[in-house]
Amino acid sequence: MRTSRLSRDTARVVHALSPSKRSTRSLRSFAHDANPDEPPGSESELSSPPSSPNGQSLGKRKRGTTETPATSTTSISVGSKEVRRSPRKAITAEDASKKRKAKRQPAKRIKKEDGTDIVEPPANWEEVYNTTKEIRKRILAPVDTMGCESLAEETRSPRDQRLQTLISLMLSSQTKDPVTAAAIKNLQENLPGGLCLEALLEVDPARLNELIMKVGFHNNKTKYIKATALLLRDNYHGDIPDTIEGLVSLPGVGPKMAYLCMSAAWGRDEGIGVDVHVHRITNLWGWHQTSTPEQTRAELESWLPREKWHEINHLLVGFGQMVCLPVGRRCGECELGERGLCPSRVAGASPRKRKVKQEVKVEEGDGVVKKEGVVGEADDQGVEVEIKREDLGEVKVQGRIPDIEDAIPAV
């Protein structure tokens, strides 16, 4: 029977719209077609599981069983391009310990069954203390050469040395160590008979004020020193008091000065001299949470061994002057932060650089002309920087010596 043209067209349309049959070629025949040089009937590489170099079959890889070396490089093919992934650096236990932030571990008060209290020191205080001593051995601070303990003249009598130590402490309030040292030097060299009780009694207040005018609050300190000289003559037989109560009764002398004076002048450690350096740094370490230096002194004396009462002030004052500054702490240069011992560490903190304008004298012809220009960079904390420029020659910019008093507003 002959098929009409309409029937044939209909059949072609139906055939075109129907889904095509999926090929049933085997993987082996596909591999054979892909590798025509392989003899018929041989096993193709694609038809067998991969094997290891020792001949054992690796089989199907399980998730999580293959370890990738930490420093290996991975290649990924995307289309016709190959993308290389950079090696991943392994994080060692030492790196992790450096990056972790220390926890605050303050001293704890524990009440015993009999009702008395005992104080358990901070867990890591000895490591923190010894590390700070290591840092201070390598750093010379202003307090090491110009501190109040080292300003008395060794050629004077013990009584005069004790008086000079007391006067040094009275002048040091809110004053940098170099300024205090210069004022004491003025008194020692310019008072008739040197710095002694008799000279302080005789000197005119205006002259005394002139000799110490560089220190902070010199007008008030002039009054305190004149009043103290009278009290020492009338009540203490011309010598300084040998008790804390007697020292704090003097005008201008507080607990910090009294304990430091007892230690430096009389050689007796009856308490810890806590200034703003000791107060600030021990709170940053998390040893306690106090709001005044007197509270800090009470907390430290409750657990710190007595043999360290004398040295802790000198230790932390120098540390605060050079490393743990009140403004711009150098955490990036401090081993306490690197060892994960300081809970207040600021990652990467270091002194900022700034452009410094210095008035430089430049000789031009017969005269001397003053020019002002940007001569280089100096640290915020007073590091000396040397700069060379063709038009200004070699210039040395001397920064200021940092001290805690810069952070205390005058009242």
Catalytic residue positions? Answer: 256
Alpha carbon distance 313, 316 (integer Å): 5
Neighbouring residues of 398: CB distance < 8 A, sequence distance ≥ 6 = 384
